Amino acid sequence: MNGTDWSALGANLAATAATALTVLLATFAIGARRGLHRIVDIAWGLAFAAVATVTWLLSAGHGDDGRRLLVAAATVVWGLRLAGHIARRSRGHGEDPRYTDLLGKAPGNRTLYALRTVYLTQAVLVWLISLPVQAASYSSAPLDTLAYCGLALWAAGLAFEAVGDHQLARFKADPANRGRIMDQGLWAWTRHPNYFGDSLVWWGLYLLACTAWQPALAVLVSPFLMTLLLTLGSGKRLLEKHMSKRPGYAAYTARTSGFVPLPPRRTPRRAREETK
């Protein structure tokens, strides 16, 4: 055993489930009143920050202080940066096409359907994905080489997604780029630098919880689930479905990696012809 206080961790899991639920229900109330459910994307990062903060407060006296502070700060910084970026990006815009399409297929009451399929689902996902943050906070193991490797991976992921978001925002701000596909900077190496960065962040946080095989195995679901969401769930898959109608996107996908950054490929003739 690695000194994890399992009984205290169990109580923390209950408290953080309530925390995630509270944040998403409050967001639902605002979204339903405004008729704008895209604000749930802002709450996504805020909910992770709230769970990390509650865990840090409750774990005092149960886990190593250095590990507790590091994992809480890392999660809060990531969550607040993401929430702030999405808030700035969505300012002045209407509903996200993803939610328009989803709620357009709602059987019955659209508002209740949004509550079930969007808000409550995200509350559960926040809780599950936050498991490494919670487990790490209740470990008495001091920071070690693996923990610092996790911190390095987290920092690389945060930098990657922040730079990618900044490059895209600057590209969109130039009127000359209206209707064009962003294929510069990190976006020339991967079609989703922000999603790839998110994945690295959570694999890094996972390493911070790997103080013994028991917690490491128990929280392995977190980085796997986040990566699956980003690649096969509501991230990459839905965005590319929407972007596929844009002129030039076929050629972009032909030469650019879908997730892991790789040198751009030479565009096949067929893809070039589709852009004409």
Domain assignment of residue 1, yes or no: no
Structural domain boundaries enclosing 124:
6-274
Domain assignment of residue 266, yes or no: yes
Q: How far from chain centre, in Å, is Cα 103?
A: 22
Backbone CA torsion sign across 88, 94, 97, 99: positive
> Tokens 């399409």 — which residue?
101
Under 8 Å between Cβ of 222 and 201: no
Under 8 Å between Cβ of 114 and 33: no
Q: Which of 101, 221, 100, 74 is nearest to 157 (CA)?
A: 74
> Tokens 């909910």 — which residue?
47
Res 268: pLDDT: 54
Res 185: pLDDT: 96
Q: Could you tell me the pTM of the whole model?
A: 0.91
Res 225: pLDDT: 94
Under 8 Å between Cβ of 52 and 130: yes
Res 190: pLDDT: 95
Q: Is residue 273 classed as helix, strand or coil in its secondary structure?
A: helix
Domain assignment of residue 265, yes or no: yes
Res 267: pLDDT: 60
Cα–Cα distances in Å, from 175 out to 93, 169, 230, 246?
17, 12, 29, 17
Res 246: pLDDT: 83
Tens of pLDDT along the chain (276 residues) come to 356 778 899 999 999 999 999 999 999 999 999 989 999 999 999 999 999 999 999 999 999 999 999 999 999 999 999 999 999 999 888 888 888 888 888 888 999 999 999 999 999 999 999 999 999 999 999 999 999 999 999 999 999 999 999 999 999 999 999 889 999 999 999 999 999 999 999 999 999 999 877 678 889 999 999 999 998 877 677 778 777 778 888 899 999 999 999 999 876 545 444 444
For residue 257, the cross-strand partners are: 190
Res 163: pLDDT: 97
Domain count, the chain: 1
Domain assignment of residue 33, yes or no: yes
Domain assignment of residue 158, yes or no: yes
